[in-house]
Every structure is written in C-alpha cells, then in structure tokens.
Amino acid sequence: MKPLYLIACSNAKLDHAAPAGQLYTGQAFKLAMAAAERAGADVIILSALHGAIDPAHQLQPYNRALTDMSRHQRAVWAAMTEQHLSQHKGRAITVLAGKNYAAAVDGWPNVSRPLAGLGIGQQLAALKSL
C-alpha cells in the first residue's frame, strides 16, 4: 500500500473554482505536494472549511483558517476530519501540516510529523529536502 500524505490547505488560493490540488497556491502547499509526488504517496488535503478532501475534488475559493477558529471550533473540525480519515487509520501517514491540522490524527499509530516544532522557514527548508 502506498504511503498517505496529509497536506494542509493554504491561505493563498486561485480566484476561481478549481480542483483542490490546484486551488491552493501557497509555497508550503506546493512544496508539500511536490514532496508527496516524489514519495509516490496518496494525498489528502486538510481544508479548514471542508475537512479531508481529495485533490481532484472541485472547490470554490474560500477564506477560512484554523488559526482564526476558537479552541472549541478547532476541536469540532478535528473530530469531523478524523471521521473523514477513519478508513486510513493504521496506514503509514505523513502529516505535512501544522499542529492544528495534525490534531485530526493525534494518537493514531504510524503517523509521522516531519515538520513538528519547526518555524515556517525551517518547514519550507524541510519540505524542499523531502
């Protein structure tokens, strides 16, 4: 079975509808998608609005970030997203996202977080090297 990469959405987006894998235009998102492609991994995008989504899923641009949510709203998001991801529990998962997004799989076995504890500059460098 191929590895699974969970990649956070980005604030930067196209100004029109597009497949999720193309909608997000942030540097970290693009680097994470490239890393997943190099690894031959399946990808699920973690969207602050939609939860766990397939990169081919068509989306309209939106303006929502987990950092703008209350702790309770983030907990609700994490529970919803965990449910979306439940079929992948036990699979080798690499989370290329910050701690708020990674909360959806907290405590799961076989989850790695190579960006954990890194500042944004360090995250970008790490993503380039993956």
Rounded distance, CA 11 to CA 7, Å?
13
CA 58/CA 36 separation, integer angstroms: 20
Predicted local confidence at residue 129, as pLDDT: 87
Residue ranges in the chain whose pLDDT is less than 70: none
Tokens representing 31 are 């680097």
DSSP annotation of 87: G
Residue-level length of the chain: 130
**10: containing domain:** 4-129
Residue type, 73: Q
Give the chain's domain count: 1
Q: Which residues are CB-contacts of 88 (< 8 A; sequence separation ≥ 6)?
A: 4, 44
**pLDDT tens digits for range 39-74:** 999 999 999 999 999 999 999 999 999 999 999 999
Predicted pLDDT at 1: 83
